[in-house]
Structure 1
């Protein structure tokens, strides 16, 4: 296995390889990984995410999983990096973390089988599929603003090659406390299946990213919180939440809301039937 990170080095985006605690650029320059300014480890043409995959998440919502995966799209403008700030816009309240594993495409893929998919994967990285559920009432189908708003797709710290996704643990922490504990073994559809499924009708290019789903436990976070996603063998992605300086414009489009649908999703299912009350806004 090897780990590749993109960082900002002397004002330029540079690809590096991790060597212990250091990152080594192609020209031999070295920088301590803890001191580096990280960039997203890949430059995708698209980011595609599966709605539900982990059995614990399905059970948490008390719903029946479809017989095949369903997906949504996160625009590349949502990309963020290790140590990056995730912005919760002024006037929004329901920003949820979702610790995940991201599949990164290495070769152009189209009309391939699950058995062939591994040969088209460059590697894997850690992801946090943040969702701004204030917009769920209007974008529940496309998830465009819910999952695609700026800064809501942190990836990193690096791209790890030749990683075996079987039997790996995923943990999400908020301010040092474990809030998600999952395993790749509870995924209904594995990484190879997801790649082959999408590639039936959509050409996947090198660098493209597929987010493979989150386990149970996604909940709202607030400005000042630190969110960490740790995946066995892939490392730890760290981000902090900040408040946006301006409110979402009120003179155009649907406005943030706190309907039953919004609260139920943000708080992990039918909260009103579980004796759970939403936090005060």
Structure 2
């Protein structure tokens, strides 16, 4: 099943996908245009991976990492489906990052690879924008780059784990103003989902609602105010976002 969190008539609802529309808890069916999308879960601790695709590392002239490069993101960074993301006036390069987001459903520590998927609630799509002008270096993404308000669209759906037969063989695509600019597959991750869950849980407890953003393949290009960016993962859905000028 596919689920969303939305605002409808001033109240927050959980909704289920129903023939391209949304069915609320009480059975009322509404269209996407009638609601405001929220992140499909309320984020707990959010882990983001840098350089987790070999082709992306090569694209940036970096050697693939020997262990996961992980940084944290605050809840202020997230915005829902059909939301907007500001581009600061002084930025010369702002690019999208289409990523598979793994949502933890069962708490655990010292989780083995063999039992990693037992702790996954489901999956969604994230677009973790990067502002290269503010980057210290690719091995230490800083707060200014990855924790800006509304810099990470996420959603629209939480797709239950049992719906996705092989999360390590999903096609990712990005379209800017209707033009295909990025295409890759989760099979090309350097550290796969079980490895990431095993690594993170080796030193801290993973809790329900925690999210792992698993990195992006090559193909990132600059985006400007007015651009519509659609990040999609086959089997999960399409996440729409519009870049706007930042207002102070």
Which residue is 2:190 aligned to?
Answer: 188
Pair 1:12–1:159, CA change in 2 (3 A): same
Equivalent position to 2:220, from 218, 221, 224: 218
Task: Note if 1:30 corresponds to 2:20.
Answer: no
Pair 1:113–1:140, CA change in 2 (3 A): closer
**1:91-134 CA distances to partner (integer Å, 9 max, x unpaired)?**
22321111111000111121111111101100000110101222
Which residue is 1:229 aligned to?
Answer: 231
Pair 1:211–1:115, CA change in 2 (3 A): same
**1:202-237 CA distances to partner (integer Å, 9 max, x unpaired)?**
222111111001000112211000111110100000
Equivalent position to 1:207, from 206, 209, 232: 209
- Structure 2 stretches lacking a partner, 5+ long: none
What is the DSSP-based 3-state SS (H/G/I as helix, E as strand, rest coil) of the residue aligned with 2:101? strand
- Structure 1 stretches lacking a partner, 5+ long: 247-281
Which residue is 1:107 aligned to?
Answer: 106
Which residue is 1:67 aligned to?
Answer: 66
Give the alignment's TM-score, normalised by structure 2.
0.94
Q: Is the 8 A contact 2:168 2:193 kept in 1?
A: no
Q: Is the 8 A contact 1:139 1:146 kept in 2?
A: no
State the alpha-carbon separation in 2 of the partners of residues 90 and 139 from structure 1. 22
The answer to which of 219-228 and 59-68 deviates more is 59-68
The answer to which of 131-140 and 236-245 deviates more is 131-140
Q: Is the 8 A contact 1:73 1:142 kept in 2?
A: no
What is the DSSP-based 3-state SS (H/G/I as helix, E as strand, rest coil) of the residue aligned with 1:90? coil
Task: Note if 1:197 corresponds to 2:180.
Answer: no
State the alpha-carbon separation in 2 of the partners of residues 154 and 177 from structure 1. 19
Which residue is 2:244 aligned to?
Answer: 242
Q: Is the 8 A contact 1:224 1:240 kept in 2?
A: yes
State the alpha-carbon separation in 1 of the partners of residues 26 and 194 from structure 2. 35
Deviation of residue 33 (structure 1)?
3.2
RMSD of aligned Cα (Å): 1.6
**1:220-257 CA distances to partner (integer Å, 9 max, x unpaired)?**
211000111110100000000000122xxxxxxxxxxx
Give the alignment's TM-score, normalised by structure 1.
0.83
Q: Is the 8 A contact 2:69 2:139 kept in 1?
A: no
State the alpha-carbon separation in 1 of the partners of residues 192 and 80 from structure 2. 25
Count of residue pairs brought into register by the alignment:
245
Task: Note if 1:83 corresponds to 2:85.
Answer: no
State the alpha-carbon separation in 1 of the partners of residues 158 and 87 from structure 2. 27
Pair 1:60–1:138, CA change in 2 (3 A): closer
Which residue is 1:153 aligned to?
Answer: 152
Q: Is the 8 A contact 1:139 1:145 kept in 2?
A: no
State the alpha-carbon separation in 2 of the partners of residues 140 and 192 from structure 1. 22
State the alpha-carbon separation in 1 of the partners of residues 168 and 33 from structure 2. 29
